[in-house]
Each structure stands twice: as structure tokens, then as C-alpha cells.
């Protein structure tokens, strides 16, 4: 069994108390394993480190240190939540993405490792551009925009989302990281989208980047329970046309981008070639599909053609 299992009744009992760090970790790892959760020991460590506010190393340097009854109780409650299927990022309230700590709530997609690869690609593509202007569409937690702003302090980065709740999380993250990333509400499908982008100074872009919703309706019921039950559907569901966000990005993007700018997106492995075809049909040039580290075609990018001469 694994995290594909639905929320369950595998709730463990109470942790041993008083107990050593070692005993608590063992108890939690067993409970999480019985509940069919992935990486039970690693998860137990992560939860205990957060409660004790120590380093992983400290758990192992002093395995026999006693944990107070209050801390053990708090730990037990978190282990129970994880055993019942809640993602660790929601229990802790944060995640690490590309080396930055981001607040994560049920209003935003939990950042994925594949998206770190998208950031990596974006940084490569921006290498020779000074003070690049960047817009992240559908920013969610702000992960892409904030990682880029951290890595490229010279960049002017903006981020938008249709969800006001998600934007609140992105703004909070920008503030906490002390990054000057402009976060604004905008709907890619609204006729006024480009006006909104202009108002926020997001034109003449060097990079338009997005990890849009790309799960077709028919696949939603088959997603792992941890995704289906805990990630916001608005961040996942593409509707009955898995290409619609890409069409819109390719069309609207040309207006927002400078000639030679990059449009870079994350895509569903099964539709990456179709996304590339959409980009080509919208006159983007040098369009490429690239694999992620797992060897699946997950990134598509192209270059903005010069504006047609009137
Ligand atoms: N990669 C996410 C998943 O596997 C989907 C993200 C998206 O739709 N943009 O669930």
C-alpha cells in the first residue's frame, strides 16, 4: 500500500511517554508504515525536527534525549494527521522549493520537484540576459517566481493568479523572503487579461513562464488520493481540453513578450508534443520539448517572433 490509498482509519494510538527521541521516531515510523505512507522514517524525522526545532543531525547525535510530554503529544497529533493521509506540507505549513522555504496551504498546489526543473531550465535560458523581465502565470504559492527572483536578484519578476486565496499565500511568501515580486490577480481567460498585465507593468517580457492546470477531467478521479484530496482542484483541472491554457498563453503571450523572449511551460507528459504544436501554430519559433530527470517530456519552450510590421 502507498499514498495512493485514500484517507484511512489507520490512525495510530498515542506515542509512548515519557520517551526518548529514538523511541518516538520508531513509534512514528511504525505507525506511518502501518498506515501505508511513503517514507515513514524520513517523515517521522521531519515531523520531529520541526517540533523540537533542531537539526536532523541532532536527532541522531542525542537519540536518548527525553522529549517533553507536551512535545510528544504535539508530535503524536501530527503523526496521526499524516497517517490519515494529510500531506506533510500541510501539517508543517511549509515546503522547501529550490532552496527556499515557502508557506503552503490547501489553497495552493504543493510545489513539485518537476517544477524545480522548470526553474532550472528558466535560469539557463535567462543566463545571457541582463535584468530580465519575467511573468509567472498561475503562480500558486509563488514558487516559480520567488525561486527565480532569489536566483536572479537583477530580474524584475511579477506573478499572477486567478485565485485571490493563492495570491495571498504568494504575497506572504514574497514578504517573508523579502523579495520584490509583484503579485497580482488576473484571469488568463478574461478579455482584459493583457490590460491587467500592462497595468502591472508586465509587458516587454523576456520570460513568460507557467505551470498551468493540465490534468484532463477524465484523469482527475485517477489521481493519487494525496493529490485528489488535498491539492486545490483549480490548480490541477484543465477541463475537457488539456491544451486550453497553453493556447491562451501562446496567444496572449506574444503581446506581453518582447521579440526573442521565451515562453516556457510545464506540461503533462502525454500532451507535451501537442503543446509544442500549439506554440508553433501561434508562430512561436525554435519550439522544443524537453524531458525531466525521470525522462518524461515535461517542459516545452519557444521564442517570441518579432512583432509583424504593419
Ligand atoms: N504535476 C501535478 C500533478 O502531478 C499537476 C500540476 C498541474 O496540473 N499543473 O499532480
What is the pLDDT tens value at each position of the chain, 310 positions in all? 456 555 555 567 888 877 999 999 999 999 999 999 999 999 999 999 999 999 999 999 999 999 999 999 999 999 999 999 999 999 999 999 999 999 999 999 999 999 999 999 999 999 999 999 999 999 999 999 999 999 999 999 999 999 999 999 999 999 999 999 999 999 999 999 999 999 998 789 999 999 999 999 999 999 999 999 999 999 999 998 999 999 999 999 999 999 999 999 999 999 999 999 999 999 999 999 999 999 999 999 999 988 765 5
- CATH 3.40.50.150 domain position(s) in the chain: 106-303
Check pocket membership of 227 for ligand 1, CB cut-off 6 A: yes
- Cα 197 to Cα 25, 95, 224, 228, distances in angstroms: 49, 28, 35, 31
DSSP 182: E
- Give residue 101 CA to ligand 1 midpoint distance, Å: 20
Give every CB contact of residue 138 below 8 A, 6+ residues apart in sequence: 160, 161, 162, 188, 210, 211, 212, 213, 235, 245
- Give residue 63 CA to ligand 1 midpoint distance, Å: 38
- CATH 1.10.8 domain position(s) in the chain: 19-86
- Give residue 227 CA to ligand 1 midpoint distance, Å: 9
Going by CATH, does the domain composed of 19-86 fall within 1.20.120? no
Check pocket membership of 112 for ligand 1, CB cut-off 6 A: yes
Mode of pairing for the β-strands spanning 156-161 and 100-103: unpaired
Ligand 1 atom, smallest distance to 112 CA? 1
- Give residue 213 CA to ligand 1 midpoint distance, Å: 7
Distant-in-sequence contacts of 269-276, Cβ < 8 A, 24+ apart: 269/296, 269/297, 269/298, 271/214, 271/242, 271/243, 272/297, 272/298, 272/299, 272/300, 273/297, 274/242, 274/243, 275/243, 275/246, 275/300, 276/300, 276/302
DSSP 3: T
**Distance (Å, whole) CA 236 – CA 242:** 10
When computed from its CA atoms, the radius of gyration of the chain, rounded to whole angstroms, is 22
Give me the architecture of the 106-303 domain, per CATH.
3-Layer(aba) Sandwich (3.40)
pTM, whole model, 2 decimals?
A: 0.92
Amino acid at each position: 500500500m502507498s499514498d495512493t490509498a485514500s484517507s484511512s482509519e489507520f490512525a495510530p494510538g498515542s506515542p509512548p511517554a515519557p520517551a526518548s527521541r529514538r523511541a518516538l521516531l520508531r513509534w512514528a515510523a511504525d505507525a506511518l508504515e502501518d498506515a501505508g505512507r511513503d517514507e515513514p522514517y524520513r517523515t517521522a524525522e521531519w515531523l520531529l525536527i520541526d517540533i523540537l526545532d533542531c537539526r536532523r543531525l541532532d536527532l541522531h547525535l542525542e537519540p536518548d534525549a527525553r522529549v517533553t510530554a507536551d512535545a510528544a503529544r504535539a508530535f503524536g497529533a501530527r503523526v496521526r494527521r499524516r497517517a490519515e493521509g494529510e500531506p506533510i506540507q500541510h501539517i508543517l505549513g511549509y515546503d522547501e522549493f529550490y532552496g527556499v522555504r515557502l508557506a503552503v496551504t490547501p489553497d495552493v498546489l504543493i510545489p513539485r520537484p518537476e517544477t524545480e526543473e522548470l526553474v532550472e531550465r528558466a535560469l539557463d535560458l535567462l543566463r545571457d540576459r541582463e535584468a530580465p523581465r519575467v511573468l509567472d502565470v498561475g503562480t500558486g504559492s509563488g514558487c516559480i517566481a520567488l525561486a527565480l527572483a532569489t536566483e536572479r536578484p537583477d530580474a524584475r519578476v511579477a506573478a499572477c493568479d486567478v485565485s485571490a486565496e493563492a495570491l495571498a499565500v504568494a504575497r506572504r511568501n514574497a514578504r517573508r523572503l523579502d523579495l520584490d515580486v509583484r503579485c497580482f490577480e488576473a484571469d488568463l481567460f478574461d478579455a482584459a487579461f493583457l490590460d491587467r498585465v500592462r497595468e502591472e507593468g508586465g509587458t516587454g517580457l523576456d520570460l513568460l513562464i507557467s505551470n498551468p492546470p493540465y490534468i484532463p477531467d477524465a484523469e482527475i478521479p485517477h489521481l493519487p488520493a494525496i493529490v485528489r484530496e488535498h491539492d486545490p482542484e483549480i490548480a490541477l483541472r484543465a477541463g475537457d481540453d488539456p491544451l486550453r491554457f497553453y493556447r491562451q498563453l501562446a496567444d496572449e503571450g506574444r503581446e506581453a513578450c518582447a521579440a526573442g523572449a521565451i515562453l516556457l511551460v510545464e506540461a503533462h507528459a502525454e500532451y507535451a508534443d501537442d503543446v509544442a504544436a500549439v506554440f508553433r501554430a501561434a508562430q512561436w519559433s525554435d519550439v522544443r520539448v524537453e524531458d525531466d530527470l525521470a525522462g518524461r517530456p515535461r517542459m516545452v519552450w519557444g521564442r517570441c517572433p518579432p512583432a509583424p510590421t504593419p
